[in-house]
């Protein structure tokens, strides 16, 4: 849609159903869904900060919560709201799907077989 304004890209689920699936997978990965690598990273950071000092756990928990809320807000705003004419006029191309696949397929491979990293 050539814009970063979330209000102009509302309701893309009806016009771009495959892109909605990509966005859902990316948002769930960003929120550290249990099988993802982000969950392991966040747990390691939280453990290290808790061992360092107990007061940092409050800030870490708060930022984790804010990240999850913002990810859900972005997904719901761009996909589930009332459709705008700008969201309907720009179909997706193979380049965009390839870009998202090249980001999410390696993440999925690392989730399923972490020894590939080593």
Give CA–CA dist 34/39, Å, rounded.
6
Sequence ranges of the domains in the chain: 6-96
Q: d(Cα 10, Cα 52) in Å, to the nearest integer?
A: 43
- Rg (Cα) of the chain, in Å, rounded? 17
What is the full per-residue pLDDT of the chain (118 aa) written as tens digits? 677 777 777 777 777 788 888 888 888 888 888 888 888 888 888 888 888 888 888 888 898 899 999 999 988 888 887 776 665 566 778 888 898 889 888 888 888 887 876 6
| pLDDT at residue 66 in the model | 94
Distance between CA atoms of 81 and 77, rounded to whole angstroms?
A: 6
CA atoms within 13 A on the CB side of 91: 2
CA distance 18 to 27: 14
Quick one: pLDDT at residue 1? 66
Between CA 52 and CA 115 the distance in angstroms is 29
Gap between the terminal Cα atoms of the chain: 39
pTM score, two decimals?
A: 0.71
């Amino acid at each position: 849609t050539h814009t970063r304004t979330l209000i102009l890209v509302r309701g893309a689920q009806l016009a771009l159903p495959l892109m909605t699936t990509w966005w859902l997978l990316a948002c769930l990965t960003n929120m550290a869904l249990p099988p993802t690598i982000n969950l392991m990273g966040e747990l390691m950071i939280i453990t290290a900060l808790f061992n360092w000092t107990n007061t940092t756990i409050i800030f870490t928990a708060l930022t984790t919560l804010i990240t999850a809320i913002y990810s859900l807000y972005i997904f719901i705003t761009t996909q589930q709201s009332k459709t705008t004419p700008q969201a309907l006029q720009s179909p997706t191309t193979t380049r965009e799907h390839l870009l998202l696949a090249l980001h999410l397929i390696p993440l999925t491979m690392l989730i399923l077989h972490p020894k590939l990293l080593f």
